[in-house]
Amino acid sequence: MIAAWPGAAGEELAVAFDKARSRRVLVLPAWFDEGNKLRHFTVEVMRRLDGAGVDSFLPDLPGCNESLAPLHEQTLDGWRSEAAEAASYFAATHVLTIRAAAAIAPVLPGWRYAPQAASSQLRSLLRARVLSAREAGREDDRQTLLAEGRERGLELAGYRLGPAMVAALADGELTQAGRQRDIAQGDIGGPGLWLRAEPDHDHHQADALAAILSMELLV
Amino acid sequence: MANARALFDGETSMSGQSDSDTVLRGVLQDVLGLSRERAAAFTSDTGLFGHLPELDSMAVAGLLTEIEDRLGIVIDDDEVDGEMLETYGALLAFVQAKRGG
């Protein structure tokens, strides 16, 4: 179930349900704090796809999860080309992006689950930093932090982002879906698990997303 | 009913017409993982930040961003203070003033 794939900075790991079937979905996980909150859900969706006869692959992008590459050296363009590399290595026929990962989708048919602009993702992280600084009696503001981040990089919610990544996130609007179809949280039902203050799981939501994908894959 | 359902499901498209109270309860319900009944039982004195352990700064940041997205408002950092987040009533008053202004 754990596979390896060749990233630019060395070997990276992936969760893989690979039985050499004809439909193979590359799953690009949510980022940062949202990635933690959605990982259980994401793997449960893959488990259901496996049961429905669909292979799927969840790669660690460089700097994320088990990756040994330093996060602060990563860029959005780098992640984009790594996602394309993983797609090609695993011979993916489709892609499923989760939340802000929509920004790095390779050119494949597929879906964008609850897509969010990279700039909105950054806005939440900056706000969390401002609020926690205030609790500690320091005054920060988002504009100053962002300017500093564009120049020297920034640590946000425990994630050390380099200047190129901060700049790319700040300017990252949600692009047109291209070859993917957007699946809104309303299509799944229930509140988005990335919103939950504590990580949680809802198997009904995993059922619903996997059902949408398998129905469209198996027709 | 379709409108209320869409709100609870995180849709933003129809939120323009709905009232702040409903939207705010919906967001808190989602963030805190509460049942609809518990969210509905919030009074203006219900304590939020500092009273609910799960509402740390990361969760509050997510909460505020979600409120912005669902209500189409922008909340500046310097508008966010302990008082505004102290109780449900204070947060609701802030959001209502923001939408009226």
What confidence tens digit (pLDDT) does each residue in B57-79 have? Answer: 888 888 898 899 888 899 988 88
pLDDT reading at B7 higher than 70: no
- In the predicted model, residues of chain A with pLDDT beneath 70 are none
- ∠ at Cα B2 (A219, B5), nearest 5°? 85
Name the residue among B30, B57, B80 with its Cβ closest to that of A195.
Answer: B30
Q: Is B58 on the interface with A (CB under 8 A)?
A: yes
Select the more confidently predicted residue: A80 or B36.
A80
Query: Does B66 lie at the interface with A, CB-CB under 8 angstroms?
Result: yes
Count CB atoms within 10 A of the CB of residue B33.
17
Inter-chain touch A128–B57, beta carbons under 8 Å: yes
Residue at A76: amino acid letter: L
Nearest to A191 among B8, B55, B78 (CB): B8
Q: What is the pLDDT of residue B55?
A: 84
pLDDT at B13 over 80: no
Q: Which two tokens stand for residue B37?
A: 């009944």
Q: Tell whether the torsion through CA atoms of B6, B7, B11 and B13 is positive or negative.
A: positive
Quick one: pLDDT at residue A137? 87
Residue A131 and residue B60: Cβ atoms within 8 Å?
yes
The closest of A103, A105, A157, A152 to A129, measured between CA atoms, is A157
| Residues A190, A202 contacting (CB under 8 angstroms) | yes
Beta-carbon contacts of residue A75 (< 8 Å; ≥ 6 apart): A162, A164, A165, A168
Nearest CA in chain B to A34: B62
Domains recognised in chain A with CATH numbers: 2-116+175-218 (3.40.50.1820), 118-173 (no CATH)
Query: Which residues of B are less than 8 Å from A130 in CB distance?
Result: 77, 80
CATH number for domain B2-100, candidates 3.40.50.1220, 1.10.1200.10, 3.30.365.10, 3.40.50.300? 1.10.1200.10
CB within 8 Å: B10 and A192 = yes
Inform me whether the C-beta atom of residue A174 falls under 8 Å from chain B C-beta atoms.
no
A200–chain B Cβ distance below 8 A for any pair: yes
Please, which pLDDT band fits residue B18 given cuts at 50, 70 and 90?
low
Whole-structure pTM value: 0.87
* Distance separating alpha carbons of residues A43 and A205, to the nearest angstrom: 12
Q: Where are the beta strands (DSSP E) in A114-215?
A: 154-156, 159-161, 180-183
State which residue of chain A sits closest to B85, comparing Cα positions: A131
Q: How many helices (H) and strands (E) does chain B have?
A: 6, 0
Cβ atoms of A110 and A27 closer than 8 Å: no
Q: In the A/B pair of chains, how many CB contacts fall below 8 A? A: 78
- Calculate the alpha carbon distances from A155 to A14, A19, A32, A137 in Å: 26, 40, 11, 18
CA dihedral (A138, B30, B51, B93) in degrees, to 10, reads 80
Nearest to A127 among B9, B32, B61 (CB): B61
Q: Which of A127, A189, A191 sits opposite B30 (nearest CB)?
A: A191
* A204 at interface of B, judged by CB pairs closer than 8 A: no
In single-letter form, the type of residue at position A136 comes to: A
B60 lies within 8 A of chain A by CB: yes
